[in-house]
Amino acid sequence: MRLAVFLSEYKEPAMLERLKAEKLGIVLVQNGVYHAAVKKDGKVSPVLSKDVEYYALSEDLQSRGFSDSDVVDGKVKVINYEGLVDLIFNDYEKTIWL
Amino acid sequence: MRLAVFLSEYKEPAMLERLKAEKLGIVLVQNGVYHAAVKKDGKVSPVLSKDVEYYALSEDLQSRGFSDSDVVDGKVKVINYEGLVDLIFNDYEKTIWL
Amino acid sequence: MGKLTIGCFSSLVGSMSLDFAIKLSEAAVKKGHEVDLWLSGNGTMLGKKGQGKFRDYSYLMGTVKELINSGKFKITNCEACAKARGIGREDTEEGFGIASMDWYLASAFGTDRVLHIGGE
Amino acid sequence: MGKLTIGCFSSLVGSMSLDFAIKLSEAAVKKGHEVDLWLSGNGTMLGKKGQGKFRDYSYLMGTVKELINSGKFKITNCEACAKARGIGREDTEEGFGIASMDWYLASAFGTDRVLHIGGE
Amino acid sequence: MAIKKIAFIVEKLPYKSETSRLALTHAIASQTVEIHLEDGDNVEPVLIFVGEGVLNCLKEQKALDMYGVTSLEMHIKNALLLDLKVLVCKEDLDTFGLTEDSIVMDAEEIGGEVTTEVVPYDEIQKNLESADHLMFF
Amino acid sequence: MAIKKIAFIVEKLPYKSETSRLALTHAIASQTVEIHLEDGDNVEPVLIFVGEGVLNCLKEQKALDMYGVTSLEMHIKNALLLDLKVLVCKEDLDTFGLTEDSIVMDAEEIGGEVTTEVVPYDEIQKNLESADHLMFF
């Protein structure tokens, strides 16, 4: 399956380790964007250590004081709500909001 | 100070490690009672590893399928709402709800 | 063009999940998609009449009304969840449906994508 | 006998924190203490008129009314928080106060114990 | 004529929030969804308890006595009574030292015929894959 | 004549929930509490940001543009404008690699005179001890 996992909080949900999918995307929204925008003790969030697609919502980055270019890891693609709509319809079949 | 810390969730809040008090009590309520009632991978919750007073709310244990005697560590005193009132007025001066 | 069913179980004001659901609906409708939005749990607060518009709290009713007027957006409150909170038909803004939980499953049956946003 | 000020910022039904606050108030009043209960954030939903009484959702109004009648219990909604959610005076059950946030601080000033229960 | 499979996945604890309760009531609503659909169309729900969510399945929950709200235990029995498929993750039960004796396995006393299935996570993953839509509570 | 000190401790992140915003608005309400009290009595608030809560203090929050809600940044500036004591935990800023440059340190542009104080956790602990009541948001 092609699965988009929405992560809305700044923690590492146990479920994230378990989910398998042919194509897996992790969409950082709301407080999930901190995974993309800050390092803790100098380290990038463990959430970003998987070999999957990553996205972060621009509106939620900006609300919290970050610009799109503040993203700490180049593999995270910054998208806006319009991009998110395309992602949901074109790139993935199923979604899970953690 | 004499400080009662209410723990209402089944996780280990970072703040718990930091708080210092002459007399510290940890009151397990709501989903905090799981710390007192279940072991994870055979181990008692790290929340119970401090040298402080522990209490668990009987009504919240029972709601979740535990009896008062299911508490996994003898140092946790099971109390009801009436006991909690006495605790707040007689044994502690300040409270924090984590 | 497709159809997206969103379920939002999070509260108004107390959480930003409803803001997220409405912004996503807006972007989808703008692109020509249809959206069904199911409100359950504290999400049912969104339809309450008479919400004050303060800058410290998000106010979504303006956008919701525009979405309803687009003809491509259906928004429905879970009847029991709303009623448990004292929100009946007379308390609910026009344009909001009120239905039992099978409405959400029926929408999910006939849709292309489901985004289920759980409660707090 | 003492006075306990409880602030509850958690939602009705969506969370059990309001149930906790009411049960604690009940136990305190039964022991002869006074209780001030401040409702802010989603906690303001507690005072909404017309809440349905279903067994799947907690229904606290009966106990709240008994507490109010005891004369040892004051319950007050945060005005802005309630209004942002569309809950004005006319939507609020009798016996509930409506005040700005300084009411809570004033209560905390003159009380023996404060239990502040945060939001979700 | 189509059947759409929806997986209701419960990973949250009961009571603190309303989430796991709403998973149950929404899954049970599949019993009446036909009235909205064409002849022969239907929704097939599967209820899945994983992670800390398995603690929803404990027996002897006294929530009704203590707080006047229906227990999750009773909701699960209702789901079984209505022949819903209920899966509980074996590994997660093990984590909490729980066995089939500790959890709601049937609804016999109210006339239920199907039983809870304790399955390895792999089986749950298969159900996520075969479902048309996922609702994660 | 008495002064009661209340500590408003913010440990939650902004925006996902309303909690940290309500900490600010309640702390600021101390400005008008006198009307409820006897002459000379007053409440002295101290606002404390610890743990992940320090992320509420970041500059350049565009919440108003994006979602139409006042940013936490603006609330903190209001608190400083009203001469509230604002403490931010140094160790927690370090954890996130933040410095005084990254956070709201003053409200000069709206006429504020006091500044945010970045202090070690020990100092925060002392404030918890000297406070009459604690409100943990």
Judged against a pLDDT cut of 80, whether residue D14 lies above it is answered with: no
Q: 């008008």: which residue's tokens? A: F32
Closest residue of A to F65, CA-based? A63
The answer to whether chain A touches chain D by having 3 or more C-beta pairs less than 8 angstroms apart is no
**Given an 8 Å threshold on Cβ–Cβ distance, is E128 in contact with A1?**
yes
Query: DSSP for F37-49?
Result: S-TT-EEEEEEEE
Q: Which two tokens stand for residue D13?
A: 């039904």
**Given an 8 Å threshold on Cβ–Cβ distance, is B97 in contact with F129?**
no
Helix boundaries (H) for E9-71: 19-28, 63-67
pTM of the model: 0.97
**Given an 8 Å threshold on Cβ–Cβ distance, is E134 in contact with A96?**
yes
Q: Which of E12, E13, E17 to mutate to test the interface with D (most CBs of D within 10 A)?
A: E17
**Given an 8 Å threshold on Cβ–Cβ distance, is B81 in contact with D24?**
yes
Q: How far apart are CA F78 and CA E117, in angstroms?
A: 57
Q: For the segment A10-65, what is each residue's pLDDT rounded down to a tens digit?
A: 999 999 999 999 999 999 999 999 999 999 999 999 999 999 999 999 999 999 99
Residue A63 burial (CB count, 10 A): 25
The answer to whether chain D touches chain F by having 3 or more C-beta pairs less than 8 angstroms apart is yes
Please tell me which of the candidates A6, A8, A85 has its beta carbon nearest to residue C27: A85
B81 touches chain D (CB under 8 A): yes
- Note whether ipTM > 0.90 here: yes
Our count of domains for chain C comes to 1
C92 part of a folded domain = no
Residue E58's pLDDT band, with cuts at 50, 70 and 90, is very high
Query: Considering only the top CATH level, what class is A2-11+18-97?
Result: alpha beta
C77 part of a folded domain = yes
Domain boundary assignment for chain B: 2-11+18-97
Give me the domain span that covers residue C41. Answer: 36-50+72-84+102-110
**Given an 8 Å threshold on Cβ–Cβ distance, is B65 in contact with E96?**
no
Which residues contact residue F101 at a Cβ distance below 8 angstroms, ignoring those fewer than 6 apart? none
Which residues contact residue F2 at a Cβ distance below 8 angstroms, ignoring those fewer than 6 apart? D109, F40, F41
Judged against a pLDDT cut of 90, whether residue B5 lies above it is answered with: yes
**Given an 8 Å threshold on Cβ–Cβ distance, is C15 in contact with F25?**
no
Contacts of C113 in chain A (CB under 8 A): 88-89, 93, 95
CA neighbor of D63 nearest in space, from D105, D40, D93: D93
Q: For the segment C52-111, what is each residue's pLDDT rounded down to a tens digit?
A: 998 888 899 999 999 999 999 999 999 999 999 999 999 999 999 999 999 999 999 999
Q: F48 forms bridges with which residues in the sheet?
A: F9, F87
Contacts of F131 in chain B (CB under 8 A): 94
Q: How far apart are CA E58 and CA D64, in angstroms?
A: 31
* Average pLDDT, integer, range D83-104: 97
E134 touches chain C (CB under 8 A): yes
Instruction: Evaluate whether B44 touches B66 at the Cβ level (below 8 Å).
Output: no
Q: How confident is the prediction along chain F (137 residues), in pLDDT tens digits per residue? A: 899 999 999 999 999 888 999 999 999 999 999 999 999 999 999 999 999 999 999 999 999 999 999 999 999 999 999 999 999 999 999 999 999 999 999 999 999 999 999 999 999 999 999 999 999 99
Give me the domain span that covers residue F49. Answer: 3-136
Q: 């008479």: which residue's tokens? A: C50
Q: How far apart are CA D5 and CA D21, in angstroms?
A: 10
Domain CATH for E44 = 3.40.1260.10
Q: What is the mean pLDDT of chain C?
A: 95
Q: Going by DSSP bridges, is the β-strand pair F117-119/E3-10 parallel, antiparallel, or unpaired?
A: unpaired
D41 part of a folded domain = yes
Distance from CA of D91 to the nearest CA of F (A): 22
A93 touches chain C (CB under 8 A): yes
